[in-house]
Structure 1
Amino acid sequence: MIFLDVPFREKDEAKALGARWDGVSKKWYIPQELSEQPEPFQRWLTNVNTINTNQVLNHDLQQTLTQTQHHIYSENSPLQTGAQDNSNPKKTEKGALLSTVLRKVQQALRQSFPGATWVVAEIANLNNSRGHLYLELTENNEQGQSIASCRAMIWQSQAQRLLQRFETETGSPFSIGQKVLLLTEISFHEKYGFSMVVQDIDPSYTLGELELNLSNIRKQLITDGIYQQNKQFTLPSDFFRVAVIAPPKAAGLGDFRADADNLQAAGLCDFKYFYSTFQGDSVENEMLSAIEAIHALHHSQAFDALVIIRGGGAKLDLNMLNLYSVAKQLCMAQLPVLTGIGHERDSTILDEISNHRFDTPSKVIAFIRHEIFQRAQQAKSDWQKIEHSSRLMVQYLEQDLSQLNQEITHNSQGAIYRWKQAMEPLQFQIQRLSENRIQSALVSINELRQTIDVQLKSSLKMIKANLDLYQHTTEKESKRVLETKHQQIIQWIALVLSSGPKTQLNRGFNIAKNAITGKPVTTANQALKTKSIQLEFVDGKVLAEIDQATGILIE
């Protein structure tokens, strides 16, 4: 990739000639199909090649270039500043030709780097053109800022072999964002600038970086004393409510839900899903948010377990899940954690600290389904035992009841006969005594009836006399009350008639009315809001206006 130093005002011209914009380096470059004919871009080539050279040279290389520069401008050189070659009057220019300087740089690089060099860098950009792989390598500081970058390429003859070996050993394709160890040959061209040609890739270095990160997280969790904390939970004997964290629309989630939805539809277990990406820069924030949401719901309605699943993928993708903050929260989770990340041989820190680790999401739901079915089978077996025992007990009780029924029937018949024999004399005696008592009672009842009739007639006479007295008193008193009320009503009518408007006007009062609506004006505030009022007297009406400023009545 040949970069160009294109001013902003000339970008349209460069674009029209076929130049393209690289978003990573923020520069224009010549595409591969035009790299063999760069003449149209010649005016933008010189500065950018010098800039790229300065960006990639290390301290030793800069010293070599300085020595080379010194050699070019030494006293013995005919190109020394201010010197003139008297043998050739035409060579009176100051300084060296650019091509001469760059060839010296090329020679110095070949002397300083006679063989290939192992270089540690991060892949910032990848482009594949006609089988050749063009790289943009970068090095970042702890703040994530780029401190060095250069171009590199893998020629077609080696690209397929190197990339296939890297993917086989790491389980992940060669891609942007990976930190790699490359065996490179330093290349500098006076026309196309500085670049590196990759001869080999060490996959073990990339894997070693991941293992180092995993080891550091593991040590920190052990130091914190929480590495084994989640393993102390005992898994429930049955599952009724499970929280699930998974990437949205993931294939592993579909495998999990194939069985989970059936369990939920049958009312055996309720699954609550929380979604988070498992790759990219937002993994940490989304995972922590999902865990926090689960803990909030767990306090109000407890979950039996937290399941973390994702489908299969590249081996290096696992590094996205090796985050200390996420592992710490799961270690301190208030419920057992089950993982099914989707890798049978490789594990993440989440697998290590979880209560139980499974190879795939399907195996997680298979375990939950097995536990539920096992509990159901155990319950069925217990129910069958209870049913069998109950039937035996019912049979025993039925036999006992039948025997008791026979004994009761036999004994009761004998008892009835004996009591019947004993009751006959008593029955005759009771009948005789009852008849005597009934005769005596009839005589007493007749005597009481006669006494009641006499007393009742006397009481009725007395009550009738009292009622006649009460009726006379009531009629007399009601007539007196009616006469009194009649007089009061006459007085009230006279009072009402004497309180009418005309009566008040005769007494010297007047009535103020709104001149327009004719409604009475009863307050000063209403009068001030009325432009004109009508004053009614006993002998006529007068129309007057009110000064709104002073409130004075004007006739």
Structure 2
Amino acid sequence: MQERHYLNVPYKEKDAAKALGARYDPESRRWWVHPATDLSAFAKWAIVPGGSAPAPVTTGPGSAPSATGADRFASRELAAGTESGELSAPAKGISLSRLLGGVATAISQAFRGGVWTMVEVMQVTLRNGHVYLELSERDRAGQVLAKAHAMIWANTAARILPEFERATGATIGAGIKLLVRAKPGFKPQFGFSLEIDAIDFGYTLGDLAARMKEIRGRLQREGVFEQNKNVPPPWNFTSVLVVAPHEAAGLGDFRKESDRLAQFGLCRFTYAHSRFQGEGAAREIVAALTNALDQCAAAGDFPDAVVIIRGGGAVNNLAWLNDYELARFICDQRLPVLTGIGHERDSTIVDEGAHAKFDTPSKVIAAIEKLIARRAREAQAACESITTKAERMTRELSAAIDQAHSQVAADARAHVARARQESRDAMNAIGVAALQDVHQAAKGGLHLVHQVRQAAAEQVTAARQLVPRHLADVQARASTSLAGDSRSTPSWTRQAPARGTRGARRRPTWPPSASAPQPRSIARDRAPKR
């Protein structure tokens, strides 16, 4: 049997292979070409040299490729060169296309099937349905250890990528780590590349979960993982610091409600912006938060909470937030941190370390608005309760005042009536007592008058008895005095009494007799006073 180079030609490309000169082997159900044919045109179909069609080989994860095919190719090329004399004439040599075609044949023979390979995507380009990738491997320090070009043909991409996205929620993008089944290939026109025909989505999920698990365990060992969750929740929202990507869709949804709350003066919102994906995004978020908090502290406007939001996205886009420094910064905050990142299915280490996690930015602002509305209703209810109690107390006090006023008025009237009665009684008593006193005084006065009159009569009687005796004595003394005076009086004065005898006869005698009437003034003076 002549030596053949077997091809792995998909059914859809059989016409193209046939047009280039390939032939179909019905026994092995493979297309093949003669070794003398220019193999560069068939390199894309993974040329497999050999006299018989080999069984398809699919290499699993961790298996090592065989170099037997490459050795056979090298041996054949050496033999062919020796027979033809080409190697002995280096001035002529072989064509570049034949050399590269031989490399392509060796590679395709060495890797007859895909090999499960762990890669990290550096760049993705879409063109005509095909997906072109730049792959790499890095060490822990981030240094690139290996790089390669890869592609996923349109028909394969249409089959495996939707399944991968549904299973992981991730899209093929920069930064994502994959476990792919890659078949090495070499084309003289384009060089070395990998053709990917399958992706193990479990590896990607495991890598993301492992990264989160590592960060979570470290935070737990440091005793800070639950720290922000234990911060007391705000009693109400009056000032909120928001960190989000600039002009993100999630921020727009958030501001539809937050601007309305700010418009009515219910809550102030301060916004800071940062990238949320790509290399260094976590450091930018920490810097933006630190700067914004410093500005709030300088202005004396301390927020009630910090909100971290971004719209939905692929899992690998959100994976940039699975960063230890960012998670530790969130856990160390003394303000409650609220997150609304991605969709309901999405979760990051930032969500786990935050005080409260919400599925979307809209649900974050809804929770803020709900608490503000709740406090407003409570304040309104308290105001209405106070108003109702005040009105009731006012009515009760008014009724009590009216009752007290009526009681005071009644008591006052009773006291006035009683005072009037007591006054009348007192006046009557005073009148009676006064009449009694007057009557008693009158009786006493009459008694005194009687006593005075009796004493006066007694004195008058005694005086009448004494008057004649005193009068006789006076007359005797007067006579004696007159007799003595007459002897000493000159002679010329002795006749005077004769001329004045008439006047002397008119002189009353003293003391008057008891029968003689007394002068009115003397009688009035002697009368007793009442």
TM-score range, shorter-chain basis?
A: 0.5 to 0.7
**Total equivalences in the alignment:** 363
Aligned 8 A contact 2:173 2:316 in 1: no
Q: Pick from 240, 243, 258: which aligns with 1:242?
A: 240
Instruction: Give the structure 1 partner of residue 259 of structure 2.
Output: 261
**Change over 3 Å in CA distance of 1:363–1:136 after alignment to 2:** closer
Secondary structure of the 1:249 match is: coil
User: Which 5+ residue runs of structure 1 have no aligned equivalent?
Assistant: 1-35, 37-45, 47-57, 85-90, 426-555
Instruction: Give the structure 1 partner of residue 324 of structure 2.
Output: 324
Instruction: Give the structure 2 partner of residue 214 of structure 1.
Output: 212
Q: Separation in 2 of the partners of 1:130 and 1:350?
A: 38
Q: Separation in 2 of the partners of 1:407 and 1:94?
A: 138
Q: Separation in 1 of the partners of 2:218 and 2:211?
A: 11
1:359 deviates by 1.0
Instruction: Give the structure 1 partner of residue 389 of structure 2.
Output: 389
Instruction: Give the structure 2 partner of residue 121 of structure 1.
Output: 119
Q: Separation in 1 of the partners of 2:406 and 2:123?
A: 100
Instruction: Give the structure 2 partner of residue 182 of structure 1.
Output: 180
**Change over 3 Å in CA distance of 1:346–1:191 after alignment to 2:** closer
Aligned 8 A contact 1:123 1:137 in 2: yes
Q: Separation in 2 of the partners of 1:241 and 1:374?
A: 16
Secondary structure of the 1:194 match is: strand
1:404 deviates by 2.4
Aligned 8 A contact 2:65 2:111 in 1: no
Aligned 8 A contact 1:229 1:332 in 2: yes
1:291 and 2:310 correspond: no
Q: Separation in 2 of the partners of 1:390 and 1:162?
A: 73
Q: Separation in 1 of the partners of 2:130 and 2:370?
A: 52
1:371 and 2:366 correspond: no
**Change over 3 Å in CA distance of 1:70–1:152 after alignment to 2:** same
Aligned 8 A contact 1:152 1:195 in 2: yes
**Change over 3 Å in CA distance of 1:199–1:342 after alignment to 2:** closer
Instruction: Give the structure 2 partner of residue 163 of structure 1.
Output: 161
Aligned-residue sequence identity (percent) comes to 36
1:194 and 2:192 correspond: yes
Aligned 8 A contact 2:339 2:357 in 1: yes
Instruction: Give the structure 1 partner of residue 431 of structure 2.
Output: none
**Change over 3 Å in CA distance of 1:220–1:375 after alignment to 2:** same
The letter for the 2-side match of 1:130 is N
Q: Separation in 2 of the partners of 1:92 and 1:323?
A: 58
1:146 deviates by 3.2
Secondary structure of the 2:318 match is: helix
1:402 and 2:402 correspond: yes
Instruction: Give the structure 1 partner of residue 147 of structure 2.
Output: 149
The letter for the 1-side match of 2:169 is G
**Change over 3 Å in CA distance of 1:146–1:72 after alignment to 2:** same
The letter for the 1-side match of 2:104 is Q
Q: Separation in 2 of the partners of 1:62 and 1:186?
A: 13
Aligned 8 A contact 2:131 2:152 in 1: yes
Q: Separation in 1 of the partners of 2:318 and 2:224?
A: 22
Aligned 8 A contact 2:346 2:359 in 1: no
Instruction: Give the structure 2 partner of residue 513 of structure 1.
Output: none
**Change over 3 Å in CA distance of 1:172–1:388 after alignment to 2:** same
1:221 deviates by 0.7
The letter for the 1-side match of 2:253 is D
Q: Separation in 1 of the partners of 2:223 and 2:322?
A: 18
Aligned 8 A contact 1:79 1:95 in 2: no
> Which one has the largest radius of gyration?
2
**Change over 3 Å in CA distance of 1:383–1:225 after alignment to 2:** same
Deviations 1:413-472 (A, max 9, x none): 5666849969x99xxxxxxxxxxxxxxxxxxxxxxxxxxxxxxxxxxxxxxxxxxxxxxx
Instruction: Give the structure 2 partner of residue 467 of structure 1.
Output: none
Of 185-194 and 275-284, the range deviating more from structure 2: 185-194
Instruction: Give the structure 2 partner of residue 231 of structure 1.
Output: 229
Q: Separation in 1 of the partners of 2:263 and 2:122?
A: 48
Secondary structure of the 1:384 match is: helix
Instruction: Give the structure 2 partner of residue 270 of structure 1.
Output: 268
Q: Pick from 108, 133, 136: which aligns with 2:134?
A: 136
Of 240-249 and 170-179, the range deviating more from structure 2: 170-179
Q: Separation in 2 of the partners of 1:147 and 1:115?
A: 24
Aligned 8 A contact 2:171 2:315 in 1: no
Aligned 8 A contact 1:337 1:355 in 2: yes
Instruction: Give the structure 1 partner of residue 312 of structure 2.
Output: 312
**Change over 3 Å in CA distance of 1:342–1:126 after alignment to 2:** closer
Instruction: Give the structure 2 partner of residue 172 of structure 1.
Output: 170
**Change over 3 Å in CA distance of 1:97–1:375 after alignment to 2:** closer
1:352 and 2:334 correspond: no
Of 92-101 and 334-343, the range deviating more from structure 2: 92-101
Q: Separation in 1 of the partners of 2:399 and 2:81?
A: 132
The letter for the 2-side match of 1:164 is P
Secondary structure of the 1:239 match is: coil
Secondary structure of the 2:206 match is: helix
The letter for the 1-side match of 2:107 is L
Map residues 464-543 of structure 1 onto 2, 5 A cutoff: none
TM-score, structure 2 as length reference: 0.60
Give the number of the structure with larger relative contact order, counting CA–CA contacts within 8 Å between residues 6 or more apart.
Answer: 2
Instruction: Give the structure 2 partner of residue 12 of structure 1.
Output: none
TM-score, structure 1 as length reference: 0.58
1:352 deviates by 0.7
1:142 deviates by 3.6
Secondary structure of the 2:251 match is: helix
